[in-house]
A and B are shown apart, each in its own frame.
Chain A
């Protein structure tokens, strides 16, 4: 089977934008994430306690939202020839509640050469939006992307 074609450092242009499909965040997502991460904070696991909180109900872990947007981003267009994820700067703007549908909007904000000739750094600004178009998370991610051989 042919590999899906991947986009190399040279193929990516500053200013390119992407829009991912949506994904509805469910109670099951939160339960699985609590089990995987070991983060059983009452914010995410105690429905009764959360009734009296400012949110009125359980909310998703911030890092669950981050993980889901990472997966959505890979479905937002032709994949990059990513070698590694280098880092990110991230803000949590609002809660993701059970039943919310989130999507990610990405825009290439910078490209940087590195000392190594076979790779470069691509910075993508990302906004995670809910079904009302409210930004719930946003930030920048730095990806190490392969250059075309030769």
Chain B
């Protein structure tokens, strides 16, 4: 069986931009998230700020590019600029801000924004990943 395609460190394009499809954040998402984490919405209709962040990761799998060969998610910074409410439709846009080769793999810094149905950037941040190099041969 062929190995599934993966996007290796060498494939990452500096300043490359990826835009994901959108999804509507529903009461069901909030209920599942709150039940799972006990991180509860502050009022009815509110969306806990960590939930859109979690949803962008899944949206990131729905782009016309194989998944990044992540060895480790090292860390990130995240800012909630404006609230996301139940019923909002969000998508994410990411851009490779930095790539640096290491002995084992390479570090990739990605800037990511969450954008609502009105085109407003509601959350944004920077992610640092350790990404595998293409296997030899």
Binding site for B on A (CB under 8 A): 29, 32-33, 35-41, 43, 61-64, 66-68, 70-72, 74-75, 82-92, 139
Query: Chain B residues with Cβ under 8 A from A91's Cβ?
Result: 74-75
B80 at the interface (CB under 8 A from A): yes
Interface residue SS majority, chain A: mixed
Q: Per a CB cutoff under 8 Å, which of B36, B40, B54 touches A29?
A: B36
> Would B75 and A85 count as touching, CB distance under 8 A?
no
> Would B40 and A38 count as touching, CB distance under 8 A?
no
Q: How many A-B residue pairs have CB under 8 A?
A: 94
> Would B37 and A92 count as touching, CB distance under 8 A?
no
Chain B residues within 8 Å of chain A by Cβ, number: 34
CB-CB nearest in chain A for B75: A91
Binding site for A on B (CB under 8 A): 29, 32-33, 36-40, 42, 48-51, 53-55, 57-59, 61-62, 67, 70, 72-80, 83, 125
Q: Per a CB cutoff under 8 Å, which of A32, A39, A72, A74 touches B36?
A: A32
CB-CB nearest in chain A for B40: A74
* Contacts A/B (CB < 8 Å), 23 sampled: A32-B32, A36-B29, A36-B36, A38-B57, A38-B58, A41-B70, A62-B73, A63-B54, A63-B57, A67-B33, A67-B50, A67-B51, A70-B50, A74-B39, A84-B42, A85-B80, A86-B79, A87-B77, A87-B78, A89-B77, A90-B76, A90-B77, A90-B78
